[in-house]
A and B are shown apart, each in its own frame.
Chain A
């Protein structure tokens, strides 16, 4: 669900490529996990042709800044909602969490349900009106209006650097997966994907990126849905699957989401309910889904406030279904695979298959020619839209929040669009550089992963206080954000130098690595909020009149006129939340 997972997956795959005799690579073909048939290659080629065509087709409607950076604010709730959830549904996300499901059982579902749904609904119901009516082009743009240029600059610079690095890592990850699964050359995959993404984003801007994200969403379902369907047929239904998992792993902990979370050592993941609810479900999830511009940008492209509020709610409904194609294949693998998957380091030494290979393994198990090509195309589409999402968000933040705000404030709209197109190309080139850098220094991925987590949790504290508390001041916002970021960095550095310090960060000697990110985010958020509150109380507040359109309680929210009660966003948010609660009760 979060970039951290993707990076974890990449670093493990990197190990796999470094030792090509491991796993299926040696077992099935000399160079890759599978050999594609001509029909599979045609399916992949059709996808590439279509996405480039879409870029050229949309170029004519992407000539103004509003068109290029905000897709003309013309997206319907369905398109913005699918794009919102799809921007996060990359291939590494799918493969990484399928592997986690095999490793930790159904606990991995928390990252899709409590780790996403409440935050998405909160964005739609509470936060979106402020983002939307302030007509900002980005999250740093909101920080400018609420806290001033210093906070905008801090947020903009960090975000721009992070997105471009993430894009490069995504590129590298795709090349790795293509090498492991298909035996394709790393350089070929990097350059073909980079040129394709550069073409369609530079031509069509955000609209093009959004169109491709919607296509990717459909492809992922079309390419992955058969695996759980055929898997359930093979094992004889859910009840039989439960019995077989208990028989194979010897414990029931793999099948419960909540009853094993009483303590760190009573579940395979090494986390507890407090960390899951407050760390993951509140800070990490709300930080990512409500303040990461990569996903928020998709919702800002909606054609009116009602669509902007409905988009995250629709996105939440789709997000809730994703475990069916990600977690369930991991659980099915525990039952049907005739061999055990192991951790990557062991796989490298022994030649066994690793957890990370579970989704491709299940795909190969059930899919022959044609269906396999569709599955591989879904993976490629996921990678490319991940890159495109990062590059389009980078282009917007650079052009509006750094170049337009601090370097060239009075340029024409046409000039900013040109800058956006060039930024896209330069962003892709830097991403290629990052991809090669990561290839030769895998430890960089750990730093980027940590850098990303340094920023998101405190940013949520800053934005939340800015929207809900009129007393928050510019100085409070800036120092809160900075201190939260430094706290996160300090905790990370502490555990890096002394791994036993995790017991203090996570408040338990039984905490495992998964708990670290969650608790570090929690501390960073707490420090950000405390510092923001204290500094704000010590500094002079802005006049209330200046906060109109930015803060809850002083902003008249435009009335929405729905013909029927069932058209109200609040009603649908209630429905989605009720389903979320029922699912958690069923799988408790």
Chain B
């Protein structure tokens, strides 16, 4: 039996997936520049923002992943 999944684990899943998607999209833009890039596109915000979200998400996933319940000590 595992512990119930906490809200922080769900948050980790979401941030991790979003971080990866945004990071990958930033890398894609490097190879395929946008026709109408946003202001300050030269800062490559999707790459570093995506990386930050990925790291935070991964940290939450590891920290709050539901562990196996410890077996009940015998009386």
Contacts and interface: CB of A to CB of B under 8 A. Distances in A.
B38 A46 contact: no
A150 interface: no
A368 B38 contact: yes
Contact of B25 (A57, A61, A214, A369): A369
B7 A219 contact: no
B22 interface: yes
B2 to A, nearest CB: 12
Contact of B46 (A42, A50, A79, A368): A368
A54 to B, nearest CB: 6
A244 to B, nearest CB: 15
Interface stretch (A186-194, A271-279, A359-367): A359-367
- Main SS of the interface on chain B? helix
Among A211, A222, A366, the most chain B Cβ lie within 10 Å of the Cβ of: A222
A449 to B, nearest CB: 33
A218 interface: yes
A570 interface: no
B5 A370 contact: no
Contacts of B49: 226, 371
Interface in B22-46: 22, 24-26, 29, 34, 37-41, 43, 45-46
Question: In the complex, which range does the number of interface residues on chain A fall in?
Answer: 20 to 34
B53 to A, nearest CB: 6
Interface string B8-29: 0011011101100110111001
Given A50-B10, A57-B5, A366-B40, A39 B15 contact: no
B14 A39 contact: no
Given A226-B45, A230-B43, 4 more contacts: A46-B17, A47-B14, A368-B46, A369-B25
28 contacts: A46-B14, A50-B13, A54-B10, A57-B5, A61-B4, A79-B7, A210-B7, A211-B10, A215-B11, A218-B11, A218-B14, A219-B14, A222-B15, A230-B43, A233-B40, A234-B40, A364-B38, A365-B39, A366-B39, A367-B38, A368-B25, A368-B34, A368-B37, A369-B34, A370-B22, A371-B22, A371-B46, A374-B22
8 closest A-B pairs by beta carbon, nearest first, are A370-B25, A370-B22, A39-B25, A211-B7, A368-B38, A214-B7, A370-B46, A365-B39
